[in-house]
Structures are given as structure tokens and as C-alpha cells.
Amino acid sequence: MAFDSIFSSPLGPPACEKDAKALQFIEEMTQNADAVQQNVLAEILNQNAQTEYLKRFNLDGITDRDTFKSVIPMITYEDLQPLIQRIANGDRSPILSAHPISEFLTSSGTSAGERKLMPTIKEELDRRQLLYSLLMPVMNLYVKGLDKGKGLYFLFVKSETKTPGGLLARPVLTSYYKSEHFKTRPYDPFNVYTSPNEAILCADSFQSMYTQMLCGLYESEQVLRVGAVFASGLLRAIRFLQLNWPQLTHDIRTGSLNTKVTDPAIQECMAQVLRPDPDLADFIAKECAKENWKGIITTIWPNTKYLDVIVTGAMAQYIPTLDYYSGGLPLACTMYASSECYFGLNLTPMSKPSQVSYTIMPNMAYFEFLPHGPNSSKHARKLVDLADVEIGKEYELVITTYSGLCRYRVGDILRVTGFYNSAPQFHFVRRKNVLLSIDSDKTDEAELQKAVENASQILQEFNTSVVEYTSYADTNTIPGHYVMYWELLVKDPTNFPNEKVLSQCCLVMEESLNSVYRQCRVADNSIGPLEIRVVKSGTFEELMDYAISRGASINQYKVPRCVTFTPVMELLDSRVISVHFSPSLPHWTPERRR
């Protein structure tokens, strides 16, 4: 039966009754964006009226926007850090939220080198679940027949710790996959995964990935979409297949399980899946043995209609590689979210990556927008409401959440591309202050500077210093890695720092970088060893000459601390005199350093 006869959405005819309800919800929220926002703010302020934080501002139960805006300041994580630390240490009084803090979500954004801790409350899980429930109804408008097969999604949990006060601290997706919302989700023919829960929930990343890949290969004909949260995750899975296809095809040929998979829950569930399938094993092995992996995704999973991965923001660097492995399949970016709050979804998920816009759902939190850019004078930097943003303008996202963040700067820069009903749609421009990123790591200029300073201390005994440096995120290899270009001043040429010393510099730099970087290196294996390329003396002067020849002002010229422009990289590479890699992994444990 066609459900468009029951309910037709302006977005398109829904695929089933459940979808119809979801699309109707999107209509209601977006048609009344401003009114919903007003209610959300009143609800949050009512709910949290008795918190220590809000009481500071003497709101006295007032919940209107004007008062809120006039008395509550805009803040950053660092402003809240002392309060968050008290919650982490076990203070259970209502500090930020009237509802008990259920756990901390650890963001990939860092503060003083450690993941930011975002306090959250139980009911937020329902809100996140609600946003997830809207994704397939929208996708079904654009891709038909997704109930006729499965999704191969590479999903992982990461390690969790406890704060001194006993609260769990873990990434938001780990929290979600471990929740009953995910584990006991009702059967939905449009949302069936090849990966068993046991594999997704296994904390050992090798066993988890191995099992998810094995299941995906067994069901290669049924797979209709292939995905991971971020593009880097999907490429990590392809790399895993490159390294492990002989063992995987052995298991498929014999119907046995690699002895490295020792998790009892996985072993038990895989006993139902494993069966000898020599024809499938031969086919996969033949394809994987080929030098050329162009289009491997559609070769192995021939019915794949699209890749479901985020390729906006820092992940855009992976688009050409994904196109290569998939033969140009559509790339669907479905949602925009963070540890602080889930924001919204893409209502036209099959649009090209460069044209992706996310519609912020006004029920998720109270959203404000700080005008951003050269023309936004201090005077004009008044926070703007969701319904009042202007097309073409850029803003920094500021949120007030049910969990107790008030006028909190997320650090994302968004550009308004249009409106759906009265809800604005945003292009994700970039995250502020991020210089280098390979996976979920985000390294800023100050962190890089500190790392160079620490590493160059080793050079002192060689009477050598780093006179200039720049960097780039090399994603030509999987996993990608950080590359540093160093120009050295060697005062005693008879005592030039040798390979051992310079590779040690790579490791010291890695040790100095933030915990998300080090976790990616150590636990996720999603970043390769840091590389230093020593360039000839005078190279950075040439770089300046080049910039000036292209119109840079000689007075204002500053060495870029990160380069992406190909001719500049070619210039630097042509002046390289030696190359050094980090000889071992930096230190990382789930425990925080402070």
C-alpha cells in the first residue's frame, strides 16, 4: 500500500506509516521553528531554574528570551571547567542541571590536551534517538527498496573510564551503542545491519572490525549501503580488508573463525553465521589479490547504492579516495551532531558533498548564532536566533541544552544556505582553530607550536634549532599522518643531529599532542607515525618569495603553520634533505593525565 494516500509530506511520499509520522514531525518542527525554540528555552530554564549556575544570574523563574539574553553570558568550555570538575569529583548537587548527571560524554575537542567532559542527563538519549529515527524516513524518499537488503556499517565502541566521583566518561557513540535504545532496538526492515551487536560492542578494535568485515563479506549480495560515521572510518575498514583478506577468505572458505577472535559473545553469535562458502571466498580472494583496488566496494558489494559517511568539514579531504574505491557512488552525509548536543539532519542526503546543508531541528536545544567573519564588527556581534539568521552569512553556533550548557560556544562555523519552511539550513564551513586533522583528532596552532618547542629541546645539545616549520595532513596513505617540514639552523656542521635524534623528535612531538591524537595513534590505529621532513636552509625564504609573488604583503607575511596548496607542497618537497618517522607509539591510556 502506498502511504502517500494516508499522509503525503511536502518532502515526498513516505515509504511506510512510520516514515509518514517522522516526516510529519519534521514538518511540524520546521514550520514552527521559532515557536518551538521559544518553548525549548522556556522548558530548559524552568527545568534548570534551581541550578547553581542559573541561580547566579537571578532569573527568578523568568523564561523569556529577552531577559535570558540580557543576563546570561556567552561562554566556552574553559569557563565551565571548574564546575565540570566538581561534578566529575562527585558533587551531586544541581550545579548545571536539575536532572542528575548520568555520565560524561568525552568530546573529540580537547581542553589542555584532554578530551572535554560534557555532562549529560538520561533524557538526552531519547532526544538523540529521536533524531536518529528521522534519518531513514528521509533517505527512503531518495533511495527506494532499502528494506530489501542490509546496511554494512562499521561501528565501534571506545574505551571508557570513571571520573574520581564515579561517573562514566566515554564518547557519545559508545554511550549510544551500549544503551538499550540501540541494543534492543525494534526490528525495522529499513534499518537492518550486517554487523551483529556483539561485534559492535566488542571493545577490542581488531576483533570488532574483523567480525564486522567477515559478516559484511558473507552477506555481500544483501548489502545495499556501506557506511561508517566519518569517511576516515570507512577508509580504515578498506585498509583492514587489504591487510586481512587472506585470513578472512580462509574463514569463509572453511566456515571457521580466526583464532584471534577470542571474545566469547562474538564466537557464540558467529557460530550461527559461519558456513563454508568456497565460491564466495574464491571470488573475494581473486578481487582482493589484484593490484588495482579501483571500485573495490562495488565489486565486492555489487548492490551498494550509496556510501553513508560524513564527508563534510575536515572529512572532505577523503572524497577523492572514497570515489576511487567506490567508483563514484553517491556519498550521503545524513546528520550533524556533537557530544554537547545532536543538532540536525540533511533533508536532501543525496546532494553532492559540496552542497550538503544540515537543517537544525529546533526541538534539540536552544540555538543562537554569533555572526562570524571580517564584516561582523563587535557591535554587530549580537547573537541571532535560529529563525533570524540570514542566507549567505556565516555564524558560530552557540547552544543552550537541557543538560545545562547555557549559551555555550560549540566552535563550529556554519553558513546559511537556505530555509526549509522556517528552519534554516547550514553548510558546515569549518571548526574554529583546527590546523590538522586526520580522524577525530583536532590539532590547533598552539598545540603544534608547543610540540615543536618540546621536540626542539633535544636538538639543543647539537647546537641546532628549528628556525621555521610548517605542516600538512597527509592522507594519501591509509591511515594518514602528520607531516612536519622543518628548516634547521645547525651551528656546528660536524655535529649534525643524526637520524636517531630526528626520529626521536617525531616521537616527542607525538607525546606532546593531545590525547585524542594519541588515542587515534595507539588504540584506533587511525593515524600513522608522525613524519619530519628536513628542508634545505633558505627554503622558508623561498616560500615567502613565492607567497609575495602571488600577492601577499611583505610586511604582513607570516609563515603558514599548515599548508594545503599543491604548488607550495611541491616546492617544500623539492627541498627535502632527509625524512624521519616516529619510531614507536606515543603514550596513551584511557585515564586522563589531569
Q: Which of 109, 151, 216, 479 binds ligand AMP (CB under 6 A)?
A: 109
Q: How far is CA 139 from CA 181, 308, 341, 351, 555, in A?
A: 21, 10, 22, 11, 52
Q: Which stretch binds ligand AMP (CB under 6 A): 239-247, 310-318, 485-493, 548-556?
A: 310-318
Task: For ligand AMP, give the closer residue by CB, 117 or 534.
Answer: 117
Could you tell me the three cell numbers for 371? 555572526
- The yes or no reply on residue 220 touching ligand AMP (CB under 6 A) is no
- Sites for ligand AMP among residues 382-441 (CB under 6 A): 410, 412, 428, 431, 440
How far apart are CB 97 and ligand AMP at their closest, in Å?
18
How far apart are CB 395 and ligand AMP at their closest, in Å?
14
- The yes or no reply on residue 103 touching ligand AMP (CB under 6 A) is no
How far apart are CB 430 and ligand AMP at their closest, in Å?
8
Q: Which stretch binds ligand AMP (CB under 6 A): 61-69, 336-344, 457-465, 585-593?
A: 336-344
Query: What is the C-alpha R_g of the chain?
Result: 25
- Sites for ligand AMP among residues 439-458 (CB under 6 A): 440
Beta-strand runs (E) in 155-218:
161-162, 168-170
B/e letters for 270-295, b = 16+ CB within 10 Å, e = fewer, are beeebeebeebbebbbeebeeeebeb
How far apart are CB 408 and ligand AMP at their closest, in Å?
11
Which residue, 430, 537, 548, 441, is CA-closest to 489? 537
Beta pairing class for 423-431 and 394-400: unpaired
- The yes or no reply on residue 107 touching ligand AMP (CB under 6 A) is yes
How far apart are CB 259 and ligand AMP at their closest, in Å?
35
- Give the list of residues 6+ apart from residue 395 with CB closer than 8 angstroms, or none: 369, 370, 371, 372, 384, 389, 413, 414, 415, 416
Task: For ligand AMP, give the closer residue by CB, 169 or 466.
Answer: 169
H or E element in which residue 104 lies:
strand 101-111
CB 311 within 8 A of CB 322: yes
Task: For ligand AMP, give the closer residue by CB, 244 or 338.
Answer: 338
Task: For ligand AMP, give the closer residue by CB, 277 or 412.
Answer: 412
What's the CA gap between 523 and 339, in Å, rounded?
20
Question: ∠79-85-89 over CA atoms, to 5°?
Answer: 165
- The yes or no reply on residue 517 touching ligand AMP (CB under 6 A) is no
- The yes or no reply on residue 317 touching ligand AMP (CB under 6 A) is no
How far apart are CB 146 and ligand AMP at their closest, in Å?
21
> How buried is residue 2: exposed, middle or buried, by Cβ count under 10 Å (0-12/13-18/19+)?
exposed
Beta-strand runs (E) in 138-289:
150-154, 161-162, 168-170, 223-230
Per rule CB under 6 A, count of chain residues that contact ligand AMP: 17
What's the CA gap between 84 and 132, in Å, rounded?
28
Q: Which stretch binds ligand AMP (CB under 6 A): 66-74, 83-91, 319-327, 332-340?
A: 332-340
Task: For ligand AMP, give the closer residue by CB, 336 or 588.
Answer: 336
How far apart are CB 566 and ligand AMP at their closest, in Å?
24
Residues that bind ligand AMP (CB under 6 A): 107-109, 172, 310, 312-313, 333, 336-339, 410, 412, 428, 431, 440
